[in-house]
Amino acid sequence: MEVLNIVEEESMELEGSATAAALINTSLDGAANVTNITFSPYYQHSLYVAASYILAYFFIFLLCMVGNILVCLIVLGNRRMRTVTNLFILNLAISDLLVGIFCIPTTLVDNLITGWPFSNTVCKMSGFVQGVSVSASVFTLVAIAVERFRCIVYPLQPKPTILVAKAAIVLIWVLAVVIMCPAAVALTVEKVPFHYMVYNGDFNHTYTLYTCYEDFANPQMRRIYTAVLFTHIYLVPLTVITVMYGNIGVKLFSTVVANRDPQLANATVQVRGRRGGQRMISQKKIKVIKMLIVVALLFMLSWLPLWTLMMMTDYAGLDRDQLDLLTSYIFPFAHWLAFSNSSVNPIIYGYYNENFKRGFQAVCKSKTFCCLMQCQLWMRIARLFRKGRSVQAPCEGADFKDATRNRLVLGLRNRVHNDNSLTETAEMKRSARVICVAARPERSVSDQGLEMAAMNQKSSDQESGKVSSLGV
């Protein structure tokens, strides 16, 4: 009877419209026929499926938060890391953080609970911020691709300045806000007539179903708006990224081939360094090509399922059962895959980038990290022993803690900022001796062998620094 009373109240509210008349005639026959009333469970999935969704979304949320916060700390904590490329990567990290904060939790709740459990303000703000953050993330990927294209394919042309990069970032956010304004206006929360949620199968605990959706005056307007979003947030950015990175890959691949062919050695492409010097592109640039391919493919594959589903729901004319299947199982996976792109961006632009790799090491510096670095240095020295070189540590009473801190800071500065190479061999020898003492204090070594190890390490650092000279 409680449900019937609610139905009668809703029919009174809808009285006067053709739809209301039809519903009243078909639903209330002698105050007993309620065949058109729809009851849905409060929770959409079983405990096992819901737990799987929670774990999957929590994993990418944690990865997104930790990775992007580390990127922000690295760029903001070091003035010399504030290059044009790194500013774009910082903006990408900020937009990805917004995706993680506003998109992942609300999407998870929406996938677990039937209907919209929040207010109308949350509906508008959540949808608007989600769209803006995703748009800004995609537009930033395009800006990074264009900037790298200019620097690598046309190295002799004037490079973008910091001021230009800041202006581009402002433009990115303005475009993201403008393109999502129609969604912010159209989003609203409305009650679904004759549709109720049942909590744990108990019909004494029923709740009115509310939904957050884009209420356009004409359904055709929604289809047009979806097509506009698909074009501007996926299709055009994907095309630009593919073209830019394709040209970069061809350029670097041809350069590597030229370096490998002795007859084409004189045709090796050179780029102008920060101090006006000429640096040859090394064969290690093949790593850059792999990274660019990963970026383009990951962006395309992670967002393709979600955009395909959105276009299908607006243009394919699916029936109710098909829509329920998409909403319950396929849409949650598509959202998870799309949001995972924001989680793995720090891995791509950090792990493959020598500058950020050193920055991650500096931010994550701890006792465990120091021990790991000592083991790596000792492995290098051990390789010298295998080649028949002997070394000795004459300074067993040295202050290991302070010297290690100095070595780490100087080493990171040398690797992160390639134009600040260390020139004092004495400092390198002193640091290396201290490391040897800490690693194997009982072993005897000669100064000559240790100096050769330090010089070999410095040469290796300078060679690895060439990879990041193009701002990649």
In 3D space, the residue among 184, 240, 231, 234 whose CA is nearest the CA of residue 212 turns out to be 184
Tokens standing for 141? 């990927």
pLDDT per residue over 361-392, tens digit each?
676 665 544 554 455 554 554 454 454 444 34
In 3D space, the residue among 348, 352, 350, 345 whose CA is nearest the CA of residue 467 turns out to be 352
Q: How confident is the model at residue 332 (pLDDT cuts 50, 70, 90)?
A: very high
Query: Is the pLDDT reported for residue 466 higher than 80?
Result: no
Angstrom distance (rounded) from CA 234 to CA 301: 11
| Backbone region of residue 416 per phi and psi (left: phi > 0; alpha: psi in -120 to 50; beta: other values) | alpha
**HSE on the CB side for 57, CA within 13 Å?**
25
More confident site: 51 or 390: 51
Which pLDDT does position 420 carry in this prediction? Answer: 38
Angstrom distance (rounded) from CA 369 to CA 364: 7
- The CATH homologous superfamily of the domain defined by 47-191+213-352: Rhodopsin 7-helix transmembrane proteins (1.20.1070.10)
Angstrom distance (rounded) from CA 280 to CA 53: 49
Angstrom distance (rounded) from CA 28 to CA 41: 23
Q: With contact defined as beta carbons under 8 Å apart, do 228 and 128 qualify?
A: no
Q: How confident is the model at residue 259 (pLDDT cuts 50, 70, 90)?
A: low
pLDDT per residue over 1-17, tens digit each?
445 455 445 544 444 44
**DSSP assignment of 280-324, as one string?**
EPPGGGHHHHHHHHHHHHHHHHHHHHHHHHHHHHHHS---HHHHH
Mean pLDDT of the chain: 71
Which pLDDT does position 56 carry in this prediction? Answer: 95
Query: Is the pLDDT reported for residue 231 higher than 80?
Result: yes
Strand pairing category for 278-280 and 270-272: antiparallel
Angstrom distance (rounded) from CA 453 to CA 377: 10
Strand pairing category for 278-280 and 38-41: unpaired
Angstrom distance (rounded) from CA 207 to CA 228: 36
How buried is 411 (Cβ within 10 angstroms: 0-12 exposed, 13-18 middle, 19+ buried)? Answer: buried
Predicted TM-score (pTM) of this structure: 0.65
User: Helix, strand, coil proportions of the chain in percent (round to 5)?
Assistant: 70, 10, 20
Tokens standing for 443? 């072993």
